[in-house]
Structure 1
Amino acid sequence: MRVLATGASGLLGSEVARLLIREGHTVTTLQRRPSGVEGAVDICGSVTDDEVVREAVRGVEGIIHLAAKVSFTGRAAEFDEVNVEGTRRLLRAAKEAGVRDVVFVSSPSVANSGAAIVGLGAALADPEHAHGDYSRTKAEAELLALAADAPGFRVAAVRPHIVWGPGDTQLVERVLQRAAHHRLPLLDAGAALIDTTYIDNAAWAIVAALHHLDRIHGRAVVVSNGEPRPVGELIAGICAAGGVPAPNWSVPGAVARGVGAIVERVWTWARRREEPPMTRFLAEQLSTAHWYDQRETRRLLGWTPSVTLDEGLARLAEHYGGHGPDADPAR
């Protein structure tokens, strides 16, 4: 199959592209900078550019759309332009080009209003109650994508939950850097039960979705390892793998959520580019249970995780060789 993968310069996008190539597919990637994926044909550009998008979808049979603006803060218009309008452009160009299959890579946050999630499935995306512009615009984009599902144009949404692994700068390296400098508290003693997804498992699930669109088109599924653990235990495992001390101090979750809301507004007002130390969404993720029933997902995708959390942590330790990211070891 001729497949376009957008956002292939990121951790998950590049792994998806590599997996597609290993399966024998012809892969084109579209992202702002070179993907670094051997065997892929790179198109450097943005999903906000109509001409670039039309070029990228030409001759393609399937699309896996991962490109997005991912940040805890930023101007709302930037999230709208990339996440919503970029998806709209891609869907329109794909239909015009005769593309048959589309997998939209979404996020569980599209249906998370901040309340605990305990063993649920994929609820309907809810932009009105999603917290933060990233979650709001991903929810709007998912609704757009699923509404486009039609005979001859199959569309499904896959929501990987907290993807991590070697080379991850979104979660792993932030945890390690902040823990190393004693700037990472546990919220409510790290007791909240959460699930996550090791990178290999997330990539396999997304590609499985492309192969099984006959079963899942028109709907969304949440993907995770299916191994809920207390967030404090997961953070301690990441710190041990990176060779830094785990945090041993705690802050009430309610306090962190209040502080995070203030920090978000200050960061956005000041147009600071670095990620803030705390946001309301981050505080919710660290202090509220969120794990999902995976039985329906596994049945629909014909997929089960191949790497357990403990195996993933062992791979992370091998990656760092006992040194945190600041040590800049040869990798």
Structure 2
Amino acid sequence: MSKSQEDLQKLMANRRVFITGGSGFVGRNLIRYYRRSGAEVRVLTRSDIADRKVSEAGGIPVRGDMFAADLHLSMLDCDLLIHAAADTAHAYHSAEQWHVNVNGTDQVFAAAQRAGLKKAVYISTESVLLTGAPLIMADETSHIPEKSVGAYSRSKAAGEHRALAYQNEAMSVTIVRPRFVWGNGDTTALPQLTEAVNKGKFAWISNGNYLTSTTHIENLCQGISRAAEYGRNGEIYFITDDTPNNFREFVSALLATQGINAPSKSVPRTLIRILAQLGDGLNRLTAGRIKSPLNMQVFATSAVEVSLDITKARNELGYQPLISLERGLELMTR
């Protein structure tokens, strides 16, 4: 089977896609990406603001809720589900995050199966593998640790498990795991970074001299579409910009697109780890009453190397990053 971009676009053009989380950064870009190919894109929404964002991106808003008993009716006549909705907070355990990321996933995939969709993609994260130790060129054979580093990792790992439970001969399920999604219109990582710098709360950890994998939003959209069309049922795929970047250089370049000079302040990694462990300990001892902004979930995500091997996506999906670091940064300064 040919897996060229041209052949991929032809397959996408015939899709009727149902997207959750469509008003977010990833969701809006997925809408535009599929619409450019001529696909019909239906998007679950919960507010007038979400309706407007979805419509502006070219999608068809469908007002509803992940937990509605009749959710499957919104999906009728669609053939592909992309589940992007998630609570991405890196704070401590909350019943709401678990409800959204785990129970919500269960409800959405059950509805998709009931509606007769043939394919489903669950957008996960490399965070399911994090322990606080460096994760160096990990591939999809890496096992999810028995003890998750934090609530977000734990909920997304459980979400993967729920999604994969729905794979069968009638509906193919694949998992996509990106890392550090960035690009035009970013509403998550870049705003948090700029706010920290502007408030004088930003500092490098051990000078930021370690590697990180990153995923430009256009590369992620391509990876998701390829997983939908070419991914094997029940399989997981890492999607990144390929070559890992130096964390400090990458973040500095991101900030520069906003006209911000990155600070030079640095703190030792050992100190940050101790403070993160202390925050987790106090949270446990006080039964959740003390919630430190620094915990091991945050530490594991940003204080050590996290790099991923995308050989499997290359070989099985025909994935090849189309947007380079230089091109992505250039697009952000226009």
Interval containing the TM-score (normalised by the shorter chain): 0.7 to 0.9
Q: CA deviation at 1:83?
A: 0.8
CA distance in 1, matches of 2:182, 2:69: 32
Query: What TM-score comes out, normalization by structure 1 length?
Result: 0.87
Write out per-residue CA displacement over residues 200-232 of structure 1, whole angstroms, 9 at most, x where no aligned residue.
Answer: 11111111211213xx22110111001212211
Could you tell me how far apart the structure 2 residues matched to 1:118 and 1:127 are? 15
Q: Does 1:297 align with 2:316?
A: no
1:251 matches 2:267: yes
Tell me the equivalent position of 1:11: 25
SS at match of 1:91: helix
CA distance in 1, matches of 2:90, 2:287: 10
Give structure 1 regions of 4+ aligned residues with deviation exceeding 4 angstroms. 261-272
Quick one: which amino acid aligns to residue 190 of structure 2?
Answer: V
Of the three residues 203, 214, 217, the one matched with 1:185 is 203
The structural deviation recorded for 1:143 is 1.5
Residue pairs, 1:45-84, within 5 angstroms: 45-51=64-70, 53-73=71-91, 75-84=93-102
1:2 deviation in Å? Answer: 1.4
Per-residue deviation, 1:107: 0.6
Q: CA deviation at 1:40?
A: 1.7
Give me the CA root mean square deviation: 2.2
Superposition pairs of residues 215-230 of structure 1, within 5 angstroms: 216-230=232-246
Q: Deviations over 1:96-125 (max 9, x none)?
A: 221111011111111222221222212456
Q: Which amino acid in the other structure matches residue 311 of structure 1? A: R
Residue identity in the other structure for 1:37 = V
Are the counterparts in 2 of residues 227 and 309 from structure 1 also a CA contact under 8 Å? no
Contact 2:133–2:304 (8 Å) recurs in 1: yes
Q: Secondary structure at the match of 1:312?
A: helix
In the alignment, the residues of structure 1 paired with residue 85 and residue 309 of structure 2 have an alpha-carbon distance, to the nearest angstrom, of 26
The change in CA–CA distance for 1:121 and 1:75 in structure 2 (over 3 A counts) is: closer
Q: Deviations over 1:300-328 (max 9, x none)?
A: 2212111111221222222xxxxxxxxxx
- Cα contact 2:82–2:121 (8 A) shared by 1: yes
The SS at the match of 2:89 is coil
2:54 aligned residue (37, 56, 59): 37
> How far apart are the structure 2 equivalents of 1:211 and 1:156?
10
Q: What are the ranges of 5 or more consecutive residues in structure 1 without an aligned counterpart?
A: 319-331
**Counterpart among 142, 148, 166 of residue 184 in structure 2:** 166
Question: 1:81, CA displacement in angstroms?
Answer: 0.9
CA separation of 1:170 and 1:271: change in aligned 2, threshold 3 A: farther
SS state at 2:264 partner:
coil
Query: Pick from 112, 127, 132: which aligns with 1:109?
Result: 127
- Matches of 2:186 and 2:277, distance apart in 1: 25
Indicate conservation of the 8 Å contact 1:156/1:220, yes or no. Answer: yes
Task: Give the length in aligned residue pairs.
Answer: 312
TM-score under structure 2 normalisation?
0.86
